Structure 1
């Protein structure tokens, strides 16, 4: 059995066992954290940083969590809304006047968070993602693909720029800076949107699925019937230095399971963790109000969206391309995070669900 490092409450032994099983099945590396009441009951890791399996995964290894980053960007918007600086019902153009172009004057801030704004595809070159003014100007000039608010289509790359520019217009700070100063800093969470060079030595590069190479692209995650017409993002793009340095707030966040679970414990615990209050209870509850239920035009599957989070029964969260995931259970004040550098084919990937179910096994013991 794979060697698992870290610590865990005896009630949660199913969690490290689940991680070990994934590594035994061939995954390169990963980490898992379960927080209850804002404190870790599981904080474990194992495997390797590199595909050659020469460097062990360490306590502070970090990885690109892809779309799990969206939950961090959403947290920034929710904090601003809770402080009265952002009206989620307001037109985006109130904060970003240029955005009203091409029939988007009716797009509301909440439409951005719920993937209903009608701008799901990134249509520029990949290199333009690394230039914030160019990326946001492109989106401001784009026409929506449907009547905003009437349908949903997963904004896989664009959502972060859309929400992030609203944050920047209000605060004068980039979303990465705002997150660092208002969320990660106060919580001491090791999560980064825009990674500085000092952290490069800790990064576990993304490993494509078996039999795939670094040209494997995110378009492969979508159903053939709803294939994106936008620019495909490849594994090699996500592994580049340019990607790390850029702020792509829907997809370029770097952290480990500990930092993801800690930050999202704010949402699990009514807005406050370890004496640090970022949101009111009402501010958290607002995120779970259903904004859309039905088939996602891009994903080709039924979804329920709140404000920045997917809704799954009584739990909330989101997963990233490649397998990373965060799930929040407010009733139990629990946050579960799994991050990995090992991609699998999306249709075959149940790892995050397996980790979450193993955490529920521990929760049953905790409640009894």
Structure 2
């Protein structure tokens, strides 16, 4: 068994471990963790680097990071769990379950359209006036319920922040619970996870939240209200993207992740917090037949539906060809199979049914050292899947010890 900085690693993944260690073994501050499950069993659980801005506090097995858009896949899973129990039909209008949603948009937008980013509600313009609105999830529910679909209705246009509130408004209307509660009852508890939360971890959680670091200060300059105000008016895909997340004064500063208020609110498209092993465990049943440790998490039919079909279309917000599939996406270029979701700084959760592998990767570096959300993903994930395809040399590594669940 090879040790990569700290943790355990199946011998087939030795190259992955070395590559991971290089990410956090230099002089730059920051750290992260990588966990891989294969056929429902943990085979890689490694971590390295530091979790504070000064670069003094070591990253540990229970250090979590804010996931940004990797949160979307988890919020979508809540909806899939409800649909699996017959509480939601993807082809029903959203207003069937959330009556307020029909107030201006009519009854034409279906659950499926929202989950494919085709609901025409990607923009915050006219929905949020400033950053304080983004901190009130109930206000965002009501504003989105009253909003008229924009010109992108019916076409894929990435719902960068609104996706989360649309999912939580729908789930709340069906269950009477907040998305924060549902992350616990529909994800954490069934899977025996205690290192997952929407926003700040609850009291008693073993998980600590890493502080964001920005070694080259690119985020400090790039994520500013002044830059947002200019870029959002450009007639480009970048302008569309910035416009979709800009809510006036204070929104750029809030999205840097340093405002404590960001962890206190419920922003189900952006402020999930998890360790790498929690992410890998959540995606583990999606890489097999919907079960984990002999317990059914999702139906096999539901899990099969996540892996296809491909829907390559130019996304009107991102300007990239994307294949959205009910809250998940494929790799935008054919370097890896499977599905999952990547966040803006590079954290991701992924399932590859072809190999039975699920992956969780988290870190605390902002855009300075990971060029966009896809740089690390497109480099690291193919290495993991290639390693999984290697024949086992001798005996395989034993299961990585996991923390006993705190839930029954």
TM-score, L = length of structure 2? 0.83
Superposed displacement of residue 146, structure 1: 2.6
**1:266-291, Cα deviation, whole Å (9 max, x unpaired):** 21122111122111110112233448
Secondary structure, counterpart of 2:42 in structure 1:
strand
Q: Which has the higher helix share?
A: 1
Computed over aligned residues only, the root mean square deviation of the Cα atoms, in angstroms, reads 2.5
Superposed displacement of residue 213, structure 1: 4.8
Out of 276, 290, 301, the residue aligned to residue 257 of structure 1 is 276
Structure 2 CA distance for partners of 1:227 and 1:255, relative to 1, 3 Å: closer
Out of 54, 57, 70, the residue aligned to residue 56 of structure 2 is 54
Pairs within 5 Å for 1:182-201 = 182-189=186-193, 190-196=195-201, 198=203
Cα distance between partner residues in 2 of 1:331 and 1:269: 9
In the alignment, what sits opposite 1:24?
A: 25
Structure 2 CA distance for partners of 1:5 and 1:80, relative to 1, 3 Å: same
Cα distance between partner residues in 2 of 1:210 and 1:295: 32
In the alignment, what sits opposite 1:316?
A: 339
Deviates more, 1:247-256 or 1:21-30: 21-30
Pairs within 5 Å for 1:290-301 = 290=309, 292-301=311-320
Out of 132, 135, 144, the residue aligned to residue 139 of structure 1 is 144
Tell me, yes or no, if the aligned pair for 2:344 and 2:372 is still in contact at 8 Å: no
Number of corresponding residues: 366
Superposed displacement of residue 366, structure 1: 4.1
In the alignment, what sits opposite 1:211?
A: 217
Secondary structure, counterpart of 1:49 in structure 2:
coil
Cα distance between partner residues in 2 of 1:28 and 1:181: 32
Superposed displacement of residue 68, structure 1: 0.6
TM-score, L = length of structure 1? 0.91
Superposed displacement of residue 147, structure 1: 5.8
Are 1:325 and 2:343 an aligned pair? no
Cα distance between partner residues in 2 of 1:101 and 1:348: 36
Q: Which runs of 5+ in 2 are unaligned?
A: 394-408
Tell me, yes or no, if the aligned pair for 1:338 and 1:355 is still in contact at 8 Å: no
Structure 1 ranges of 4+ moved more than 6 A: 218-222
Are 1:302 and 2:356 an aligned pair? no
Structure 2 CA distance for partners of 1:13 and 1:164, relative to 1, 3 Å: same
In the alignment, what sits opposite 1:69?
A: 71
Cα distance between partner residues in 1 of 2:389 and 2:307: 24
Tell me, yes or no, if the aligned pair for 1:18 and 1:358 is still in contact at 8 Å: no
Secondary structure, counterpart of 1:66 in structure 2:
coil
Q: Which runs of 5+ in 1 are unaligned?
A: none
Tell me, yes or no, if the aligned pair for 2:120 and 2:150 is still in contact at 8 Å: yes
Tell me, yes or no, if the aligned pair for 2:285 and 2:297 is still in contact at 8 Å: yes
Superposed displacement of residue 239, structure 1: 2.6
In the alignment, what sits opposite 1:360?
A: 385
Deviates more, 1:11-20 or 1:22-31: 22-31
In the alignment, what sits opposite 1:151?
A: 155
